[in-house]
Amino acid sequence: MLNSVKGMMLTLASTFQGLKKPVTREYPKQPTPVQPRFMGFPALTWDNDVDEPFCTGCMVCIRNCPTQCMSASMMDNPLNEEGKSHRRKIVDYFEINLNRCILCGICVEVCNFDAIVMSHEHEMSTYERNGDRVDLPALLDIGKKYQRETAWIPPTVLAKAKKEAEDAARAAAAENAEPAAAAQEAD
């Protein structure tokens, strides 16, 4: 009996605390913010410098997808012929069946061109059975939205900058060490 009262007290205390500081959210009205690393549906990125997609349609993501949810094809890049772009090939057609996608992020990891990202999009229910089969323009739209919202920098650019900074730091350390070593030798 006493134990039941004790249990009741715990519940009561928690109720009052919950009224003061609620844990639950009224989800559709009050959306939960996602974490920066959140993996939503995959999307294709847009190269704003050249005004074309990063994707060259090389199909490495398609070969590595565990569920085979994508398909793509490539074509000769007209902008390359005009000399505006360094990409000789460009994506012609790209489709992802988001109903099949398991959001594993393997496509992003294997991509050599920073062309695909896991966007923060996760509310994409539709009324049609094939409504979640998104094509190239739609994927690029999601990608552009993601790039805009997160101030996206291509990972290879980030890695390059990081490596350069490390190299510079190492060179500086070596320079500092050299006079010290010389001083020691002189002693």
Partner 1 sequence: MAEDRTGLATQAQMNAEPVEMLLNMGPQHPSTHGVFRMVLWVDGEKIVDVEPHIGYLHRGSEKLCEGEQYHQIITLFDRMDYVANFNNELVYCQAVEKLMGLAVPERAEYVRVILCELNRIASHLLYVGTIGLDAGAMTPTMFAFRGRERIQSLFEAISGARMMHNYFRIGGVKEDLPDNFEQLIAELLPLLKEDVEESDRILTFNEIFLTRLKDVGSISAEEAIDFGFTGPCLRGCGVEYDVRKAQPYSVYDRFDFDIPVGLDGDCWDRHWVRVQEMYESLKIIEQALEQIPEGEVVSSLGRRLIRPPAGEVYVRAENPRGEIAVHLVSNGTDRPYRLKVRPPSFCNLSAIKRLLYESWIADSVVILGSLDIVLGEVDR
Closer Cβ to partner 1, 35 or 48, answer by number: 35
Shortest distance (Å) from residue 82 CB to partner 1:
36
Beta bridge partners of residue 53, listed in sequence order: 46
Closer Cβ to partner 1, 161 or 182, answer by number: 161
> What does the alpha-carbon distance between residue 76 and residue 91 come to, in Å, rounded to a whole number?
9
Shortest distance (Å) from residue 145 CB to partner 1:
18
In single-letter form, the type of residue at position 28 comes to: P
Closer Cβ to partner 1, 158 or 181, answer by number: 158
Burial track 142-153 (b if 16+ CB lie within 10 A, e otherwise):
bbbebbeeeebe
- The site for partner 1 (CB under 8 A) is made up of 1, 3-4, 7, 10-11, 14, 23, 34-39, 64, 66, 102-106, 109, 118
Shortest distance (Å) from residue 9 CB to partner 1:
10
> What does the alpha-carbon distance between residue 5 and residue 41 come to, in Å, rounded to a whole number?
49
